[in-house]
């Protein structure tokens, strides 16, 4: 039989082969992802269309009855989730707060400056309502905590749960950097640095995890680290800051393993050199006006990052789109650490 005749016969056979009904194929679910079936029911932002639920007739007439097609996987939506973010009223945290709400999540902003948190909560809710006037605006609340004080953390979580029915997501962004020669760093500053950057992350993570475990909620946490946890930045002297962010990175990995069987994912997002008001006001840049240009010369993309460039990554790590990612670190640094 010639090759052309063989190919023709094969094509006829394929056309005659009975179609497989994938909907009837049984499969044992993976225990760790008990909510996978629910992922296929995630609504689009407007809540009117659910993936996998439209009949043939409704699909054919969708153009006349549904909003414009939004070419984004429904797994990226945070609709129905309630997130807590620490340090969410300013700088990088503010950009991440916007990302969570604009992705559909209700949000509790925790900050040591509660007045600023209140102001930003109103502004973010307004941004959503103006952007999506026909959608229900997520609930955005403001709360106070010095994250280095466990009593403050416990009180903030308790207050959040009186205003929100649950907590499904946590982003720990509260932290600070201080440049100082190691031999000159004073004990009280050491305690403050480690208290905010490390203990604050630990207190909020364990407090929220306890809530998730008690209610058997599949949870998701994103710790904000820094490339300083993996490399030694130069020329600024910040040994203690580097050590604190290395601790955050390894804490994320450790808790990810410990809590995996509780359906709680933990990852670390590590920004590189980001252009914030705080960064530009830092004494190291005031004293060394050419340092920004020096840093940018070492970044393959040739520029410091904007806070908004973290929005997509934090939304991704907070969503079901990353449901098989845990214990990992994602660096957002314009390629700085690969050189």
CATH code of 212's domain: 3.40.50.720
Q: Is residue 295 part of a domain?
A: yes
Task: Convert 264-329 into a string of H (helix), E (strand) and C (coil).
Answer: EEEEEEEECCECCHHHHHCHHHHHCCCHHHHHHHCCCCCCCECHHHHHHHHHHHHCHHHCCCCCCE
Count of residues for the chain? Answer: 339
The total number of structural domains that make up the chain: 1
Contact (Cβ atoms closer than 8 angstroms) between residue 197 and residue 205: no
Q: Can you give the pLDDT at residue 186?
A: 95
Tell me the HSE value of 140 on the side-chain side, using a 13 A CA sphere.
30
Partners of 274 in the β-ladder:
305
Q: Is residue 7 part of a domain?
A: no
Q: Can you give the pLDDT at residue 64?
A: 41
Say whether the peptide bond before residue 235 is cis (omega within 30 degrees of 0).
yes
Helices 239-259 and 187-194: crossing angle, nearest 10°?
A: 30
Q: Is residue 13 part of a domain?
A: no
Q: Which residue has the tokens 């962004």?
A: 173
Q: Can you give the pLDDT at residue 282?
A: 65
Q: Can you give the pLDDT at residue 69?
A: 63
3-state secondary structure of 5: helix
What range does the domain containing 283 cover?
Answer: 78-338
Q: Can you give the pLDDT at residue 179?
A: 86
Catalytic residues: 226, 241, 245
Q: Is residue 33 part of a domain?
A: no
Tens-digit pLDDT string for the chain (339 aa):
444 444 444 443 333 333 333 333 333 333 333 333 333 332 233 333 233 333 333 333 334 444 556 778 999 999 999 999 999 999 999 999 999 999 999 999 999 999 999 999 999 999 999 999 999 999 999 999 999 999 999 999 999 999 999 999 999 999 999 888 999 999 999 999 999 999 999 999 999 999 999 999 999 999 999 999 999 988 889 999 999 999 999 999 999 999 999 999 999 999 999 988 777 666 677 777 788 898 999 999 999 999 999 999 999 999 999 999 999 999 999 999 998
Contact (Cβ atoms closer than 8 angstroms) between residue 240 and residue 185: yes
Q: Is residue 16 part of a domain?
A: no
Q: Is residue 297 part of a domain?
A: yes
Q: Is residue 4 part of a domain?
A: no
Q: Can you give the pLDDT at residue 125?
A: 98
Q: How far apart are CA 25 and CA 220, in angstroms?
A: 30
- Edge-to-edge strands of the sheet including 106-111? 140-144, 106-111, 82-86, 169-172, 219-224, 264-271, 329-332
Q: Is residue 105 part of a domain?
A: yes
């Amino acid at each position: 039989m010639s090759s052309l005749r063989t190919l023709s016969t094969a094509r006829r056979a394929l056309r005659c082969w009975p179609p497989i009904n994938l909907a009837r194929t049984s499969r044992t679910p993976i225990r760790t992802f008990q909510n996978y079936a629910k992922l296929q029911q995630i609504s689009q932002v407007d809540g009117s269309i659910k993936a996998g639920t439209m009949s043939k007739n409704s699909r054919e007439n969708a153009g006349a009855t549904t909003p414009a097609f939004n070419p984004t996987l429904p797994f990226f939506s945070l609709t129905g989730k309630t997130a807590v973010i620490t340090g969410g009223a300013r700088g990088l945290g503010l950009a991440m707060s916007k990302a969570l709400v604009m992705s559909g999540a209700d949000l509790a902003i925790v900050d040591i400056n509660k007045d600023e948190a209140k102001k930003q909560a109103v502004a973010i809710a307004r941004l959503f309502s103006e952007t999506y006037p026909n959608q229900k605006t997520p609930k955005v609340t403001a709360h106070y905590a010095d994250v280095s004080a466990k009593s403050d953390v416990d009180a903030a979580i308790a207050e959040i749960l009186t205003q929100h029915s649950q907590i499904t997501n946590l982003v720990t962004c509260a932290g600070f950097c201080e440049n100082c020669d190691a031999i000159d760093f004073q004990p009280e500053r050491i305690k403050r640095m480690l208290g905010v950057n490390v203990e604050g992350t630990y207190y909020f993570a364990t407090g929220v995890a306890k809530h998730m475990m008690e209610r058997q909620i599949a949870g998701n946490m994103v710790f904000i680290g820094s490339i300083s946890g993996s490399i030694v930045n130069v020329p600024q002297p910040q040994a203690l800051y580097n050590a604190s962010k290395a601790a955050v990175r390894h804490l994320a990995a450790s808790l990810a393993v410990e809590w995996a069987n509780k359906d709680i994912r933990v990852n670390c997002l590590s920004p590189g050199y980001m252009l914030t008001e705080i960064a530009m006001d830092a004494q190291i840049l005031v004293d060394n006006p050419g340092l920004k240009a020096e840093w940018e010369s070492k970044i393959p993309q040739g520029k410091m990052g904007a806070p908004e460039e973290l929005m997509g990554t934090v939304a991704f790590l907070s969503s079901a789109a990353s449901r098989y990612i845990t214990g990992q670190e994602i660096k957002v640094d314009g390629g700085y650490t690969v050189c």
